[in-house]
Amino acid sequence: AAGSTGAITSLGFTAVAKTLADTITVPAGYTATVLYRTGDPIASGIAAAKNDGTDGDFDKRSGDCHDGIEYFGLNAAGTGPDASNSERGLLGMNHEYQNNLFLHANGPTANPRPAAEVDKEVAVHGLSIVEVKRSGGVISYVQDSSFNRRITAATTMVLSGAAAGDALMKTKYSIDGSTTRGTQNNCGTGTTPWGTLITCEENWIGYFTRSSTDDTTRGGSTARSVVSLKRYGLAAGAASRYGWETGGSADLYARWNASQIGTSTDGTDDYRNITNNFGWNVEIDPYNRSAAIRKRTSMGRFAHEAAAYLTPVAGKPLAFYMGDDSRGEYIYKFVSTANWAAADATPADRIATGDKYLDSGKLYVAKFNADGTGQWLLLDIGVAAIAGYATYTFANQADVLINARLAADAVGATKMDRPEWSTVNPATDDIYFTLTNNTNRVLTGTAYPLVDAANPRAYNDTKGTATAQKGNVNGHIIRISETGRDPAATAFSWDVYLFGAESTAAEAINLSGLTADQDFSSPDGMRFANSTGLAWIETDDGAYTDVTNCMLLAAVAGTRGDGGKVTVNNTRDTVTLAVDTYMGKKPTATTLKRFLVGPAQAEVTGICETPDGKAIFINIQHPGEDTTAATLATPSAYGSHWPDGGTARPRSATVVITKNDGGRIGS
């Protein structure tokens, strides 16, 4: 198991116990080192962060709420890519949102927001590109690297692909619908076979406001734009999350107001269409700061969580797998028009290569059948169910991509229990999706889809004591196999890989038979490591935090079809409904172990590795998130002081984990 190459088939470390300690706990023989914290400087001449709410210059500092993260190898000279180099590389990472309380000296000012506070908040969002180097066995970030940069919620980006330039994309800022400013609430990440970063816009809708009369202005509740805005979660009268539109009359602030204010017929004198500029996968060339950043609209618009591609095969198209993380949303696949050419793995122009593979293709949505089969349903204006959809009249294919959720409704896709990260097992091409939880899932009634084979739990109270339906509280992990491992397949098979549960729960709830060394709730981040073949599973939990902080587990995932059926027994109370689902083998003591527990009130998210597998990077997001404004002046009452300890304000950070004997992580 401890070899220096090849797949790890038996986990060698001793599992970490569940804990509420405000620290990072790793197995004996491993070291976790804080690498890159909110506010840390990434340019020469920028002072260390004081972390007291007075730091500025966030365009030259780490943003907040670190999330998805990817490693891009640099050559030894630092002049360009070398994907195989573990000694020197770039980290590309998301800064999903902000811990607003700790970002300002006395917490945030109420609406109307001071412009200076809004400017700071816009700048802590987005991404970091930051160089890391290994020297004497120690990995640290390079403050003055010329590759370092921040991309924020104000950075100019190009709208690319089949919806670019459509009438629905036009704004006062870009009257031809070709560009926009900013990316926000970037959660999961992915990479491409040609060495770029994909950052995924998730809960972007919450940053916009709409006036209470806006539905009427737009023509009433059946107006197309009103149907669309509501389907994506922005009702008339909705307040924005941070009040950025109140920062002043300047265009920089006004653009967060999505109300129809102008008198034009096409929206080029206001920001009525601004929300259509968000909800995309965004491609960034980490090696080239002057390359255009492109929002890849052909991949569809929703609350993107991550993007994972099937192993490329020369002469076949590429397939990317994407979840839409909201209760009852869908799983999607994008299939490129262009067939893969191996020479494109090391192109001279990476963004042009992105244009080739990501700007033209087919978008599909998943339908899961009860017998373990499934279909990819095409989302195209030529599909009868879409062209004839009664709820919403699609104008063209750009409209189908912009309103992918409505198109997926039209074709009858399967409503899932919040699809979070996707990842592909490189050994088998099985595609895994974490389904983090869904408190809305029910057994009876008409308000929400009932349990189905792929989302079979509605009575999953983990303590086994509930007397009411709780929905799917602990989540599960589903996996898909394309027919013939073909990226263009329209049929697949599937099973459930793991069900989250507390180990002390009854067998009917702890369906995967998790032990105290393995139990978890609400799987979120998930990534297969190319170096070892291990699957890393991270949690973002609201149900098990009475017992343990969020965690990272390692798994030997195995292959599909190696187990039998399991009956999910939802027979609590007076409701009786049994659902059969398929699943693989239950984990053993050496195929699933808890590897790490994070600090207090934090999510463990984002994971990548050096190519040699001897270091992994994770992100700790929002430690101490439950701290209230009332206790801001009382540091002893903070929910966490991680990572700086003492009475410090908590902050998000990237952590690097190494093995003390220099071996591969998990061996």
Smaller CB separation from ligand FEO, 40 or 305: 305
The least distance separating Ca ion from the CB of residue 99, rounded to whole angstroms, comes to: 10
Residue nearer to ligand FEO on the CB measure, 552 or 556? 552
- Of Ca ion, ligand FEO, none, which one does residue 625 interact with (CB within 5 to 8 Å by kind)? none
**Residue located via tokens 């690297």:** 145
Among 215, 324, 409, 603, binds Ca ion (CB under 5 A): 603
Which residue of this chain has its Cβ atom nearest to Ca ion in the complex?
Answer: 540
Closer to Ca ion by CB, 246 or 627: give it. 627
* Cβ atoms of residues 59 and 152 within 8 Å: yes
User: Given the rule CB under 5 A, which of 209-217, 284-292, 534-542, 565-573 is the region that contacts Ca ion?
Assistant: 534-542
With CB cut-offs between 5 and 8 Å by kind, which of Ca ion, ligand FEO, none does residue 202 bind? ligand FEO
Comparison of 461 and 540: residue with beta carbon closer to Ca ion: 540
Nearest to 403 by CA among 417, 418, 391: 391
Nearest Cα to Cα of residue 620 among 649, 584, 655 = 655
Q: How far is the CB of 373 from ligand FEO (least distance, A)?
A: 27
| Closer CB to Ca ion, 276 or 621, in the complex | 621
Select the binding partner of residue 184 from ligand FEO, Ca ion, none (C-beta < 5 to 8 A, by kind). none
505 CB neighbour count, 10 Å cutoff: 19
* Position closest to ligand FEO via CB: 187
- Rule CB under 5 A: say whether 609 interacts with Ca ion: no
Residue 519 touches which of Ca ion, ligand FEO, none (CB < 5 to 8 A by kind)?
none
Contact residues for 126 (Cβ-Cβ < 8 A; gap 6+): 63, 94, 95, 150, 151, 152, 153, 155, 182, 183, 184, 186
Q: Is 324 in the site for Ca ion (CB under 5 A)?
A: no
In whole angstroms, how close is the CB of 186 to ligand FEO at the nearest point?
9
Rounded Cα gap, residues 514 and 506, in angstroms: 11
Answer whether 93's CB lies under 8 Å from 619's CB. yes
The one of Ca ion, ligand FEO, none whose footprint includes residue 538, by CB under 5 to 8 A per kind, is none
Contact yes or no for 2/108 (Cβ under 8 A): no
Picked from Ca ion, ligand FEO, none, the partner binding residue 603 (CB below 5 to 8 A depending on kind) is: Ca ion
The amino acid at 220: G
Site string for Ca ion, 169-208 (x = CB under 5 A): ------------------x---------------------
The residue ranges that bind ligand FEO (CB under 6 A) are 96, 187, 202, 305, 325, 420
Binding span for Ca ion by CB under 5 A among 164-172, 402-410, 540-548, 645-653: 540-548
Q: From the list Ca ion, ligand FEO, none, pick the one residue 226 interacts with, judged by a Cβ distance below 5 to 8 Å according to partner type.
A: none
Kindly tell me which of 186 and 273 has the beta carbon lying closer to ligand FEO.
186
Q: Which stretch binds Ca ion (CB under 5 A): 24-32, 43-51, 538-546, 587-595?
A: 538-546
One-letter amino acid at 663 equals G
Cβ 538 to ligand FEO, closest distance in Å?
11
540 binds Ca ion (CB under 5 A): yes
Dump strand ranges (E) for 340-426: 361-368, 373-378, 419-424
Closest distance of CB 153 from ligand FEO, Å: 15
CB of 420 to ligand FEO, least distance (A): 5
Q: How far is the CB of 621 from ligand FEO (least distance, A)?
A: 9
Residues 6+ apart with CB under 8 A from 10: 1, 556, 590, 591
Q: Are strands 156-160 and 294-296 parallel, antiparallel or unpaired?
A: parallel
Any bridge partners for residue 656, and if so which?
33, 617
Give 447-450 contacts, CB < 8 A, sequence gap 24+. 448/328, 449/328, 449/415
Q: Site residues for Ca ion, window 489-528 (CB under 5 A)? A: 524
Exposure class string for 42-68: b at 16+ Cβ within 10 A, else e: bbeebeebebebebebbbbbbbbbbbb
What is the pairing mode between strands 88-95 and 138-141?
A: unpaired
Taking a C-beta distance cutoff of 8 angstroms, is the pair 87, 134 a contact? yes
The Cα 198–Cα 179 span in angstroms is: 18
Residues that bind Ca ion (CB under 5 A): 187, 420, 524, 540, 603, 621
